[in-house]
Amino acid sequence: MAERDRTAWPSGLLMLLCLAGWVLGASSVAADEADSPRWEAEAMEWREQRLARLTAPFGWLSLVALEFLGDGEWTVGAGADNDVRLISGPDRWGTLRLQGAQARFAPARGAEVFVGDRALDTAIDLTVAGDQPATRVSAGTGWFEMASRGDRLVLRARDSEAETRTDFLGLDYFEFDPAWRVEARWEPHPEGATIPIADVLGELRDQPNPGRAVFEVNGQQFALEALAAEDQLFFILADRTSGRETYGLGRFLYSAMPEDGRVVLDFNRSYNPPCAFNAYTTCPLPPPENRLDVRVEAGERRYQGGGGIQPSDLDS
């Protein structure tokens, strides 16, 4: 059986406005109070969309395998005697032959295995995920594809009948609080700046770091380092609720790009990373700079079900 590699690589405060410093004026309070119902409605809609994405047939809950494989031959299928065991389809889907960055799959005789709508009856070369979409080999209620991680190939598989999906317990949130929709000052970094980001597999990679968002909570200043995410900013954060009311390995938060030197951080939309629900994930972890010494009582709470990665798992 191929061994999974876990050790290798992932309220009383209202919206702050900058008027000769961080000052709340009567007009800004009134505007916030007027906008609060709209913000809450938008947050509720966001929660519905978040749930739909997470619970989709082949969303994050459906992962059933993450296997780092070296050169050689590897059997794949639902039977217990396979090197890579899946949860549906034939006992033996077929055999993978790996050499360097190349992957070839030969279906087992009589196995009902497909690529798209085409039944496989002969060996094919697989496109590894990268610049081109990966070849997906499917059977039963699932599929697998190959990806590269550094100089290694990894098989990742999803199945709509994964227990982490079929036994999903739902999402819990703190009550919406407009005080946690915070306007932050944007401080850009020099072009090309990066920040090292670790993941649950133990790998450390430099990621583009366009700047940081500086904000206040109850008169105390904090900052979050941002990662680049196409047309958005991406924050990986932890706070004093982490490991208690919220997930121990942190939460994710996206924001719109800065406008006029400002970034809106709506912590009501902070949410759990995929590894909170499924162990076959490679989530990034909050950098030290993003570990906030404050309780962020907003956004998604800790998941009450099983199947995810816990902080204690990273110590083993």
The answer to whether the CB of 115 falls within 8 A of the CB of 134 is no
* Model pTM score: 0.87
Confidence of residue 251 (pLDDT cuts 50, 70, 90): very high
Say if residue 6 is exposed, middle or buried (CB neighbours under 10 Å; 0-12, 13-18, 19+). middle
Summarize pLDDT for 7-33 with one digit per residue, the tens. 333 333 333 323 333 333 223 333 466
Q: How far is CA 302 from CA 114, 246, 251, 266, 270, in A?
A: 38, 4, 10, 18, 12
DSSP string, 183-247: EEEEEEPPTT-EEEEEBTTS-EEEEE--EEEEEEETTEEEEEEEEEETTEEEEEEB-TTBTTTB-
Question: Greater confidence, 315 or 108?
Answer: 108
Structure tokens at 58: 């082949």
3 pLDDT more than 50: no
Question: Bridge partners of 53?
Answer: none
SS3 (DSSP) at 52: helix
pLDDT at 28: 31
The confidence score (pLDDT) of residue 6 equals 36
Nearest C-alpha neighbor of 10 from the set 157, 224, 204, 193: 204
Residue with tokens 């970094």: 189
Enter the DSSP assignment of 258.
P
pLDDT of the residue at 130: 86
Mean pLDDT of all residues in 142-167: 96
Helix, coil or strand: residue 62: helix
| Residues 222 and 214: beta-carbon distance below 8 Å | yes
Please report how many Cα atoms fall inside a 13 Å half-sphere around the Cα of residue 95, on the Cβ side: 7
Predicted confidence (pLDDT) at residue 271 exceeds the cutoff of 80: yes
Distance, in Å, from the CA atom of 285 to the CA atom of 249, rounded to the nearest integer, reads: 7
Give percent of the chain above pLDDT 90: 85
Contact 277, 303 (CB under 8 A): yes
Q: Please give the pLDDT value at position 179.
A: 95
CA separation for the pair 273, 237 (Å, rounded): 11
Tens digit of each residue's pLDDT (9 = 90 or more) over 172-186: 999 999 999 999 999
> Which residue's structure tokens are 């970034």?
263
pLDDT of amino acid 73: 98
pLDDT at 33: 64
Q: Span 176-202, mean pLDDT?
A: 97
Handedness of CA 263, 266, 269, 273 (dihedral sign): positive
Over residues 184-200, the mean pLDDT reads 98
Residues 196-211: what's their mean pLDDT?
97
pLDDT, one tens digit per residue, over 62-117 is 999 999 999 999 999 999 999 999 999 999 999 999 999 999 999 999 999 999 99
Split at pLDDT 50, 70, 90, the class of 316 is: low
Neighbours of 132 (CB within 10 A): 8
pLDDT for 214 equals: 98
Residue 134 has pLDDT above 70, yes or no: yes
Single-letter amino acid, residue 28:
S
- Sheet containing 84-85: give its strands across: 84-85, 72-77, 94-99, 102-107, 124-126
Domains along the sequence of the chain with CATH: 26-55+171-315 (no CATH), 60-166 (2.60.200.20)
